[in-house]
Amino acid sequence: MRRFTVYDSLSRETRMFVPITPPKVGMFVCGLTPYDDAHIGHGRTAVLFDVVARALSHWGYRVHYIQNVTNIDDRLIARGAETGIDPLRLADRHFLAYRVAMEQLGVRSVNYYPHATDYLPEIVQQIRTLLEKGYAYESRGSVYFEAAKFRTYGRLSGQRLEEARPGTRVEPEPGKRAPEDFVLWKAARPGEPSWEAPWGPGRPGWHIEDTAITASILGPRYDLHGGGLDLKFPHHEAEIAQAEGASGLAPLANIWMHAGMLQFHGEKMSKSLGNVVPLQDAIQKHGPMVLRFYYLNAQYRSPLDYSGEATLREASEAYDRLDAPSERLREAVDQRGPDHPGQELPEEVLASSNHLLEQLDELLASDFATREAIAALFGWSRTVNEWLPRFESLSGPSLSALAAPYRWAQEVLGLFEGRGSGQDSERIAPAVQVAIEARQRARDRGDFEEADRLRESLRSAGILLEDNGSLTRWRFAPGEAG
């Protein structure tokens, strides 16, 4: 296993990564609240941590990567009221679209996408523990975490309690002892989804969903927590307080990684500001590999500016220059085969290929320097271009040596997969499975209209579901699509 360093947001220093129980790595990244279509800012975070997980696996670690789905939330309820669609239905629909986009982008390293509503018993139990330990209190059917009781609250973000007073971003709320206290359980309101709990019917707060899920799956402590920079406060700060308060163990995560924000002309890209670019639109127009290249050709902790369509057109032109020799080389390797006789490369070129592979690993092992790795690949493309006229005369092993850095980039960076997303069963299987899971959740809550709609949507795409007891299988049947 390769040792590597990474910038830790909690200690504010670059640290050597040391797993709790090597070679296993527990990794959690805050996922989507699917109240609307994902935008290209979501894509940046997803691609970054996909590369982190890919690199860890490449280096011999056994990664268990989970990314939660906040499928019950104030924004989902508000959007459901606006559209007339049940919030849980809405969440499933947008999450399915998100998974399709992730599959197109090559984000395939996530092992499990736990949904908040599937972990309500665990959420209730963690709230009960916080009440018993004196970190939380009940008020008007709701339960709040008393931030002042957790003495290191604010350590991650540098936010002081006195800054979280009326007039700042934390709004006062009836029933709270202090403005900075945050909700663990929201009392039921008329017309909103609710579940039973010892302190009354309601639904979980945003922060408690994540820590109950991670405690259940990864344990009270794990190796790496990731997310967007905008989640540092209050979300990640609240996660630390809840999890460490409940378990009595610290730190919650050995390493905290935060991705810089994608900005639109210098402003944060946000649905609330109305300046978002839908992720699926960008994929369809420019291709998933261009998006991956755009995200990775930047330092991950820095803001990434999007200045309109010209930004992605420039990325597309740059990626074409990088991809063109790689594509020609792939064709030559496929045509000639690995053992085909022919001219051998000079020793210095073979040595350069091996040196570059080591250099690429070293760059990723230094706080995931993807931009520098891409720059090194551009340098290699110039070497490959010099040999392009002689591809037909080169031996199979020589061609493989020229292709080795591109194979590394395909495995670790997820580049050079081609511009199409593919429709074969292996590529489409993850998205179909999400639809099957959404259909099962709809059936479990008695929403058979939504379950039938999902089945029909798949049938229209040429995919038939076959139920056998608790098991649902699927198969392609394009001729039966309607």
Asked if 319 contacts 290 with a C-beta cutoff of 8 angstroms, the reply is: yes
Per-residue pLDDT, 421: 38
- Is residue 264 within 8 Å of 278, Cβ to Cβ? no
pLDDT score, position 418? 67
234 closest CA partner among 164, 129, 148, 138? 164
Per-residue pLDDT of the chain (482 residues; tens, 9 = 90+): 999 999 999 999 999 999 999 999 999 999 999 999 999 999 999 999 999 999 999 999 999 999 999 999 999 999 999 999 999 999 999 999 999 899 889 999 999 999 999 999 999 999 999 999 999 999 999 999 999 999 999 999 998 776 655 444 445 577 899 999 999 999 999 989 999 999 999 999 999 999 999 999 999 999 999 999 999 999 999 999 999 999 999 999 999 999 999 998 878 777 667 788 999 999 989 999 999 999 999 999 999 999 889 999 999 999 999 999 999 898 888 887 777 888 999 999 999 999 999 999 999 999 999 999 999 999 999 999 999 888 888 998 999 999 999 999 999 999 998 644 344 555 677 778 888 888 888 888 888 888 888 888 788 767 788 887 667 877 765 555 54
pLDDT of residue 375: 98
CATH of domain 5-259: 3.40.50.620
Could you tell me the residue ranges of all domains in the chain?
5-259, 317-413, 425-480
pTM: 0.88
pLDDT for 166 equals 46
The confidence score (pLDDT) of residue 420 equals 41
Cα separation, 431 vs 419, in Å, equals: 19
